[in-house]
């Protein structure tokens, strides 16, 4: 899935670098490295990327939701957003387990640093809140800084969606 999203983002950038992209997020999360590929692509391309949570944005899904262009991160009113620390496991010899544990610590520090930047929350608060599953409704996610608004009518709130209504279906992925 991440490879498809990366390809679509790059394609939309090549087609019209001045046209905002709307990325709908309905995800229970997934691989940190796959999610970081999407995140890096979102930052690499020229268009603004508006994010909209529809349903659930959990784990890496919540991270990507928060990584949309500031002022253009939204949720529908009944969506749920959840942040937590990276999950994983390790097996093998003690040295192999140490290597995997260090990699998990790297991912945790990296993700929490970005979450702090995206939300405006202190790193200490992010570390505390991501220690366990931390669920929020749309309103709470806005107050937390993960999103910028709760929308009732996407066609009125997001201009790229209005453009899509006029036949420019490339405005959303």
Catalytic residues: 59, 84
Could you list the beta-strand ranges (E) of the chain: 21-27, 49-58, 73-75, 80-83, 134-137, 149-150
Closest C-alpha among 8, 29, 7, 20 to residue 80: 29
Q: How far apart are CA 124 and CA 102, in angstroms?
A: 20
Decide if 147 contacts 70 (C-beta within 8 A).
no
In this structure, are strands 21-27 and 49-58 parallel, antiparallel, or unpaired? parallel
Ramachandran angles phi, psi of 109, nearest 5°: -65, -40
């Amino acid at each position: 899935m991440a490879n498809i999203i990366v390809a679509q983002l790059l394609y939309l950038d090549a087609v019209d670098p001045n046209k905002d992209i709307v990325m709908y997020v309905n995800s229970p999360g997934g691989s940190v490295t796959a999610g970081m590929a999407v995140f890096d692509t979102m930052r690499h391309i020229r268009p603004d990327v508006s994010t909209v949570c529809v349903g659930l944005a959990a784990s890496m899904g919540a991270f990507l939701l928060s990584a949309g262009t500031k002022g253009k991160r939204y949720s529908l009113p009944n969506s749920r957003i959840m942040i937590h620390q990276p999950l994983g496991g390790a097996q093998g010899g003690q040295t192999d387990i140490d290597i995997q544990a260090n990699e998990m610590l790297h991912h945790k520090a990296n993700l929490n640093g970005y979450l702090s930047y995206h939300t405006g929350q202190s790193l200490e608060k992010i570390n505390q809140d991501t220690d366990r599953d931390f669920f929020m409704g749309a309103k709470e996610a806005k107050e937390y800084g993960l999103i910028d608004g709760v929308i009732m009518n996407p066609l009125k709130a997001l201009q790229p969606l209005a453009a899509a209504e006029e036949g420019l279906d490339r405005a959303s992925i």
